[in-house]
Amino acid sequence: MFNMMKTAILMAAITALFMLIGRWMGGQAGMMLALVVALGMNFFSYWFSDKIVLKMYNAQEVDESSAPQFVRMVRELADKAGLPMPKVYLIDEAAPNAFATGRNPDHAAVAATTGIIRVLSERELRGVMAHELAHVKHRDILISTISATMAGAIGMLANFGMMFGGRDSEGRPANPLVGLMVAILAPLAASLIQMAISRGREFEADRGGAEISGDPQALASALQKIQRYAQGVPMEAAERHPETAQMMIMNPLSAGGLRGLFSTHPATEERVERLLEMARGR
């Protein structure tokens, strides 16, 4: 209950940020327009965000005829978790990663890159897909997708405002320095909110995934291996759509500089240590 309340507050904050940028660009009328747009985006994201994200990554749906071993693995794990069978997708990317999306457990999808299937053992891959199904079970996937959509819109709106300028409360052109600050700080604030939404949920999905697979050590090993490989293999789709990085099992973007400071994922070392503690306690 606390986690849901915290998430609702954070989603309200990201919507409020969207409205504030609207106010800066067009005064009171701009703020009201931004509110209408934000509500519309949330409604649209609820129904279509999973399809949008899968299209961003050019994910291709697979079944037991095209990827029998992988699909059977997901089916077995979904049964263990007490979940309906999600749709299963593959992404033709060398970078090892995976994510879940959809508006609820009855309309969920899990996706993995071809790279992660090549890199991980079957046992490690089970841990990763169990992690993604834990996100589905905890109903994290809709929040992650909506916050990614809103954060991306905030970045675009801020850049648009910097190019064309904003308005003060009386409708006069705003100070261009203010516009520059908005363009820099608004996406940064959106990233901070995404971080707050995502980090706690990753720990919970690790725990839930370890319980579903019954093998916390395998998930710990998978995380270490993904981090090691991902450092040298960029994920092109994620670089084009950085707002979606929070949906992955591990941030596919470079962890250096400010991007590492405001990462939507906890440190891999801490995630691994928690999982190994679970393994020792079994």
- The residue ranking higher by pLDDT, 89 or 12, is 89
Q: Tell me the residue type at 96.
A: P
Q: Which residues pair with 248 in a beta bridge?
A: 99
DSSP class of 175: P
- Positions annotated as catalytic residues are 132
Tens-digit pLDDT profile for residues 194-216: 676 677 789 999 999 999 999 99
Residues 180 and 162: beta-carbon distance below 8 Å: yes
What is the token pair recorded at 256? 């250096």
Mean pLDDT of 232-260: 74
Mean pLDDT of 105-120: 96
Mean pLDDT of 135-141: 87
Residues 15 and 42: beta-carbon distance below 8 Å: yes
pLDDT value, residue 265: 83
pLDDT value, residue 257: 46
- The residue ranking higher by pLDDT, 275 or 102, is 275
pLDDT value, residue 272: 97
Residues 78 and 100: beta-carbon distance below 8 Å: no
Residue with tokens 């909506």: 146
What is the token pair recorded at 63? 């079944």
What is the token pair recorded at 81? 């978790």
What is the token pair recorded at 206? 């690790």
- The residue ranking higher by pLDDT, 251 or 37, is 251
What is the token pair recorded at 261? 């400071």
**Range with lowest mean pLDDT among 10-14, 36-40, 164-168:** 164-168
Ranges of each domain in the chain = 50-142+175-281
Task: Tell me the whole-structure pTM to 2 decimals.
Answer: 0.76
pLDDT above 80: residue 114: yes
Residue with tokens 């190019």: 163
Tens-digit pLDDT profile for residues 30-60: 667 666 776 676 676 667 778 888 999 999 9
pLDDT value, residue 123: 97
pLDDT value, residue 139: 83
Q: How confident is the model at residue 279 (pLDDT cuts 50, 70, 90)?
A: very high
| CATH for the 50-142+175-281 domain, from 3.90.1150.10, 3.30.2010.10, 3.40.50.720, 3.40.109.10 | 3.30.2010.10
- Name, of 12-16, 33-37, 131-135, 184-188, the range with top average pLDDT: 131-135
* 124 phi/psi in degrees, rounded to 5: -70, -40
Q: Which residues pair with 112 in a beta bridge?
A: 90, 98
pLDDT above 60: residue 255: no
CA dihedral 257, 258, 262, 263 (to 10 degrees): -40
Q: Residue 207: how many CA atoms within 13 Å on its side-chain side?
A: 11
From the list 184, 202, 203, the residue with the least C-alpha distance to 258 is 184
- The residue ranking higher by pLDDT, 14 or 6, is 14
What is the token pair recorded at 49? 């965000």
pLDDT value, residue 134: 96
